[in-house]
Structure 1
């Protein structure tokens, strides 16, 4: 089943996107150049990961436990 039709898979993909963008932004400042347009989505995901990091971490833990036991 595609990640677009399964809600749990969609949440996993979104969380991984946020975590990946935040990690890439911490290594390089490549996402700061593109704040608008299609590539601005990655900058926004990085900002969400930076600002909401405790909630993102708890969500990642919950998703990991959910994937582990289901």
Structure 2
């Protein structure tokens, strides 16, 4: 089944994308900052969400891990 049709899988993919983009931006800020429009701009936006909402994203990651471990 595709991650698009399963809500839990879709949320997992989105959380992983946000966390990965925020981590990569901390390592290579020049690559993310020069691509703010287009398809690569999506990764920049995900990195910004991960940086600014980091306590909420962290809490969502913990809840998602708990959900995957005990309810799937």
* Corresponding position of 2:14: 14
Matches within 5 A, 1:13-52: 13-29=13-29, 30-52=31-53
User: Cα deviations across residues 8-50 of structure 1 (Å, max 9, x unaligned)?
Assistant: 0000000000000000000011110100111100000000000
Structure 1 segments, 4+ long, off by >2 Å, are none
User: Number of aligned pairs?
Assistant: 70
Mark the runs of 5 or more structure 2 residues left unpaired by the alignment: none
For residues 47 and 8 of structure 2, the distance between their equivalents in structure 1, rounded to whole angstroms, comes to 21
Greater per-residue helix proportion? 2
Task: Report the TM-score when normalising by structure 2.
Answer: 0.95
Task: Report the TM-score when normalising by structure 1.
Answer: 0.98
Q: How large is the Cα RMSD of the aligned pairs?
A: 0.4
